[in-house]
């Protein structure tokens, strides 16, 4: 009786199949565990869905301290989501693309806040933050504010000077538009816009007024044709896209009135020391995550680089105001920040031209990502200032 032997090739094929099954099982186990770990890591995220005309949920309650909100855009246009303390912006995320989500991390104090929901015309929601033992302890452990009186006073002077420069620039722009001089109005738009960008970190705390001055067309139901679309970008649209000054004189006049009000409100609002660096960090993160990549901020004039340089000027000012304190207690943090500022400056300086900066549509996608990376690095470095000065967790 003969015995049929299995060919060696078949042995190898069977062994290979077993190994593939083991490998596939291992990959499945690894992927499952990674997914579980990710779910575990994100289990504390509060998910908010933005629909075309509403948010779900639109009434939230969270404990004081650090909270993460995942904002999911289920509408068909880019949207923003903000946490407001009265008229002041606590945290925000801009330009969330349709079908995508972004995370807002906020360190919240006990109290009641408002939340915006996509389009500016959509109804606002509420956010109630309850006290905790940790928030009570942090309130009792605040460092002495005496050391911050000088830097905060000097920053107030800086805001006053820059606000006056903005009013002067907006006045000249208004006069050029009223006279019908398109070329002159285009030339005067750039310094006026840069003047506003030097104030942007502080101005963006004033939600309503900032929306009147600075909101892009995306956040209005009818975009550029929406009657509520006013301010700098409405003028930019007329000057550089339509190239027509018909019917924009009232918009220029309103902008001048709004920036005059802005100066009054900036000087009337107190700025806690724990927010001095935070407003600049938020502005730099917006530059890195939204504005540098897409160029959406100055989409008609392509003058984005002028604004970035103005933002950098204010970042330098805040660091210089805190320099004496940092040099005594945290020289290593200061060195990291100075290096990040220098790197960001060098990145922007590569695009300088005789008239300021090159048009942003001449900057490649790779170069925009480099600018974004330097802005993000500066934001990260400056994020270390508050802990170094004992202001973290307040």
Q: Identify the structural domains of the chain with CATH numbers, from first to last.
A: 46-131 (2.60.40.420), 149-270 (1.20.1420.20), 272-389 (1.20.1420.20)
**CA 9 distance to own-chain centroid:** 62
What pLDDT is recorded for position 36? Answer: 37
Give the three-class secondary structure for 149.
Answer: helix
Peptide bond into 57 cis (omega under 30): yes
What pLDDT is recorded for position 29? Answer: 38
The backbone region for 256, taken as left when phi is positive above 0, alpha when psi lies in -120 to 50, beta otherwise, is: alpha
Give the strand pairing for 111-115 and 46-51: unpaired
d(Cα 252, Cα 141) in Å, to the nearest integer?
Answer: 48
What pLDDT is recorded for position 142? Answer: 55
Inter-CA distances, 358 with 231, 307, 354, 364, Å? 24, 12, 9, 12
- Angle at 70 (CA atoms; ends 67, 73), nearest 5 degrees: 150
pLDDT in tens, the chain (394 residues): 444 444 554 444 444 444 444 444 444 333 334 333 333 345 589 999 999 988 999 999 999 888 999 999 999 888 888 998 887 788 888 888 899 998 988 888 899 999 998 888 888 999 999 988 877 766 655 556 678 899 999 999 999 999 999 999 999 999 999 999 999 999 999 999 999 999 999 999 998 999 999 999 988 999 999 999 999 999 999 999 999 999 999 999 999 999 999 999 999 988 889 899 999 999 999 999 878 777 778 999 999 999 999 999 999 999 999 999 999 888 999 999 999 999 999 999 999 988 889 999 999 999 999 999 999 999 999 999 999 998 865 4
- Angle at 280 (CA atoms; ends 274, 285), nearest 5 degrees: 120
d(Cα 337, Cα 335) in Å, to the nearest integer?
Answer: 5
d(Cα 154, Cα 323) in Å, to the nearest integer?
Answer: 13
Taking Cα atoms as reference points, which of 289, 284, 280 lies closest to residue 385? 280
Taking Cα atoms as reference points, which of 275, 16, 317 lies closest to residue 145? 275
Give the three-class secondary structure for 90.
Answer: strand
Q: Structure pTM?
A: 0.75
Do 136 and 63 form a contact (C-beta atoms < 8 A)? no
Segment (H or E) for 104 = strand 101-108
């Amino acid at each position: 009786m003969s015995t049929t032997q299995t060919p060696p090739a078949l042995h190898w094929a069977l062994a290979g199949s077993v190994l593939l099954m083991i490998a596939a099982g291992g990959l499945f186990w690894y992927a499952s565990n990674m997914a579980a770990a990710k779910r575990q890591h994100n289990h504390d995220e509060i998910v908010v869905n933005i629909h075309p005309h509403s948010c779900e949920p639109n009434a939230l309650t969270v404990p004081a301290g650090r909270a993460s909100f995942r904002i999911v855009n289920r509408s068909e246009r880019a949207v923003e989501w903000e946490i407001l303390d009265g008229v002041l912006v606590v945290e925000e995320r801009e330009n969330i693309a349709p079908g995508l989500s972004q995370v807002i991390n906020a360190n919240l104090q006990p109290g009641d806040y408002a939340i915006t929901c996509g389009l500016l015309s959509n109804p606002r929601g509420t956010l109630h933050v309850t006290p905790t033992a940790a928030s009570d302890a942090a309130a009792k452990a605040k460092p002495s504010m005496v050391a911050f009186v000088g830097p905060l006073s000097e920053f107030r002077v800086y805001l006053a000077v820059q606000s006056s420069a903005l009013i002067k620039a907006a006045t000249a722009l208004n006069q050029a538009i009223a006279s019908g001089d398109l070329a002159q109005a285009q030339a005067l738009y750039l310094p006026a816009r840069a003047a506003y960008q030097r104030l942007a970190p502080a101005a963006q705390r004033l939600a309503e007024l900032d929306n009147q001055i600075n909101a892009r067309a995306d956040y209005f139901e009818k975009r550029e044709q929406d009657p509520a679309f006013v301010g700098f970008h409405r003028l930019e649209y007329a000057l550089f896209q339509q190239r027509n000054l018909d019917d924009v004189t009232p918009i220029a006049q309103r902008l001048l009135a709004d920036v005059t009000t802005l100066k009054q409100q900036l000087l009337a609002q107190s700025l806690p020391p724990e927010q001095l660096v935070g407003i600049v960090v938020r502005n730099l993160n917006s530059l890195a995550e939204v504005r540098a990549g897409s160029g959406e901020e100055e989409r008609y004039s392509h003058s984005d680089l002028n604004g970035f340089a103005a933002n950098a000027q204010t970042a330098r000012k805040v660091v210089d105001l805190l320099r004496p304190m940092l040099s005594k207690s945290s020289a290593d943090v200061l060195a990291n920040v100075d290096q990040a500022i220098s790197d960001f400056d060098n990145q922007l300086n590569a695009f300088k031209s005789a008239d300021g900066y090159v048009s942003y549509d001449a900057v490649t996608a790779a170069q925009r990502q480099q600018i974004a990376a330097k802005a993000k690095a500066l934001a990260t470095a400056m994020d270390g200032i508050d802990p170094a000065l004992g202001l973290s967790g307040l």
